[in-house]
């Protein structure tokens, strides 16, 4: 199956905006709500997510297509994928600490959180469920991470402003973050007609 | 026995996993479109949570501290796989409706958090109480959201039509924004109530 540029462009737009993993599919909400208190934090988180997401979907995609399907081990999928992600996160953490201390300082603290980030696991599942080839999987996971970062940074920006707003005391913090998310999600529904 | 009830109630009211600890949100919002999905999801979470708490609590003295997280993951994913396969085999429509969220129970922070914070430290009976309480607390919240969303979104509850024929379904409630708005309101109201009780 050959892949044209238009196909890839469609994957990018639909994964990043139309089917935004946070606002349209409700996946990966814990770090989204927890880490979006200021913009630099959420950028760091987004970078870390992008990094691990691309790596883990390449690894799980190769495992799935070259080992699992030939050996008919599909039922082990959940267990193996989550273990692969956990191991990868550990490896990345060790490698970054040793070789790229600057990058480690920027995104190191977010890495342990990522193991239990459902967005990563979900993307590895979708990557094999949609029958993508390797190039498509890479593009898909990058664009999902892009969508994740856009949504988190948007919410973080709004929450920074909200600190000066007069919100009823029992709605401060999480409740208000959710209500803002609802408004963001309405805005993202606007992207729906983009691809036919 | 008194202790059992203490831990049991703690999960439902005191430290409700969803509204108080802000964990396990994804499946709450995604599945709560219909009450029947909520109940099935609740049952799945209670099963996985209780079984993995039992296993981890029994093995807590054998598990070496350094590798406890991977071991927890293996235990939890075993039970999740069981739920996933059983649902695919016996309840295919439900399994389809919930899609990826059944496998995602594995990364549901509630289960990992309870394994780490409770089951790996406490004996068997309190662990079971804690798991049941947390599971039921989760199910209550998800059902409370599901009732409102199904009533306004489809005009029915448990697929039984309740509102008159002329009712126009409110698409907003079925779409993601409705879920976000509802959970925001719920958390706010709970904050308000708990502050008044504490005064």
| For B31, nearest residue in chain A (alpha carbons) | A26
Residues in contact with A163: Cβ distance below 8 Å, sequence separation at least 6, in sequence order: none
| Partner residue opposite B177 with nearest CB, options A125, A175, A185 | A185
Q: What is the mean pLDDT of chain B?
A: 87
Q: Do B26 and A183 touch (CB under 8 A)?
A: no
Residue B156: beta bridge partners? B161
- The count of domains in chain A is 1
- Please write down the long-range contacts of A124-133, taking CB distance under 8 Å and 24 or more positions apart: A124/A56, A124/A57, A124/A60, A124/A61, A124/A81, A124/A84, A124/A85, A125/A77, A125/A81, A125/B100, A125/B103, A126/B100, A127/A57, A127/A60, A127/A61, A128/A60, A128/A61, A128/A64, A128/A65, A132/A61, A133/A1, A133/A3
Q: Do A121 and B192 touch (CB under 8 A)?
A: no
3-state helix, strand, coil in chain B (%, to 5): 75, 0, 20
This prediction has a pTM of 0.86
Residue B157: beta bridge partners? B160
* pLDDT computed for residue A63 by the predictor: 92
Mean pLDDT by 10 residues, chain A (196 residues): 80 89 85 79 83 92 91 88 87 83 72 76 90 91 93 91 87 88 91 79
Question: Is residue B80 less than 8 Å (CB to CB) from chain A?
Answer: yes
Residues A132 and A140 sit within 8 Å (Cβ to Cβ): yes
User: Chain B closest CA to A113's CA: distance in Å?
Assistant: 10
* pLDDT computed for residue B30 by the predictor: 85
Domain span at B118: 2-198
* pLDDT computed for residue A1 by the predictor: 54
| For A79, nearest residue in chain B (alpha carbons) | B77
- The count of domains in chain B is 1
Select from B52, B78, B184, B192 the residue whose CB has the most chain A CBs within 10 Å, as the one to mutate to test that interface.
B184
Q: What is the pLDDT of residues B28-41, one digit of tens each?
A: 888 888 899 999 99
Q: What is the pLDDT of residues B136-151, one digit of tens each?
A: 999 999 999 999 999 9
Domain span at A129: 5-194
Cα(B99)–Cα(A27) distance, rounded to whole angstroms?
Answer: 12
Select from A78, A86, A111 the residue whose CB has the most chain B CBs within 10 Å, as the one to mutate to test that interface.
A78
- Interface ipTM above 0.90: no
Cα(A137)–Cα(A16) distance, rounded to whole angstroms?
Answer: 14
Q: Do B104 and A24 touch (CB under 8 A)?
A: no
Cα(A95)–Cα(B9) distance, rounded to whole angstroms?
Answer: 44
């Amino acid at each position: 199956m050959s892949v044209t540029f238009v196909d890839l462009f469609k994957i990018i737009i639909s994964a990043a905006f139309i089917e935004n993993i946070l606002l349209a599919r409700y996946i990966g909400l814990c770090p989204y709500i927890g880490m979006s208190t200021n913009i630099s934090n959420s950028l760091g988180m987004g970078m870390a997510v992008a990094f691990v997401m691309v790596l883990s979907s390449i690894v799980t995609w190769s495992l799935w297509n070259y080992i699992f399907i030939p050996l008919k081990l599909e039922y082990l999928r959940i267990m193996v994928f989550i273990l692969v992600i956990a191991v990868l996160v550990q490896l990345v953490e060790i490698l970054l600490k040793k070789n790229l201390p600057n990058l480690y300082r920027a995104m190191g603290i977010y890495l342990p959180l990522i193991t239990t980030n459902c967005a990563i696991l979900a993307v590895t599942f979708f990557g094999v469920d949609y029958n993508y080839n390797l190039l498509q999987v890479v593009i898909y996971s990058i664009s999902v991470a892009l969508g994740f970062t856009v949504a988190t940074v948007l919410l973080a920006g709004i929450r920074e402003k909200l600190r000066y707003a007069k919100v009823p005391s029992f709605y401060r913090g999480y409740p208000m973050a959710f209500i803002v998310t609802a408004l963001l999600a309405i805005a993202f529904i606007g992207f729906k007609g983009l691809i036919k | 026995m008194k202790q059992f009830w203490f831990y049991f109630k703690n999960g439902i009211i005191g430290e409700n996993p969803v509204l108080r600890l802000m964990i396990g949100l994804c499946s709450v919002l995604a599945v709560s479109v219909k009450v029947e999905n909520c109940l099935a999801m609740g049952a799945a979470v209670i099963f996985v949570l209780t079984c993995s708490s039992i296993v981890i609590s029994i093995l807590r003295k054998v598990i070496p501290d350094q590798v406890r997280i991977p071991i927890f993951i293996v235990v939890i994913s075993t039970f999740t796989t069981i739920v996933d396969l059983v649902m695919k085999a016996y309840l295919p429509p439900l399994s389809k409706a919930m899609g990826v969220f059944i496998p995602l129970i594995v990364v549901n922070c509630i289960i990992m958090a309870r394994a780490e914070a409770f089951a790996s430290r406490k004996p068997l009976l309190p662990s079971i109480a804690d798991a049941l309480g947390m599971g039921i607390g989760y199910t209550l919240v998800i059902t409370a959201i599901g009732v409102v969303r199904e009533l306004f979104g489809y005009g029915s509850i448990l697929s039984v039509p309740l509102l008159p024929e002329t009712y126009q379904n409110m698409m907003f409630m079925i779409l993601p924004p409705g879920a976000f708005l509802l959970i925001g309101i719920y958390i706010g109201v709970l904050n308000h109530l708990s502050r008044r009780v504490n005064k």
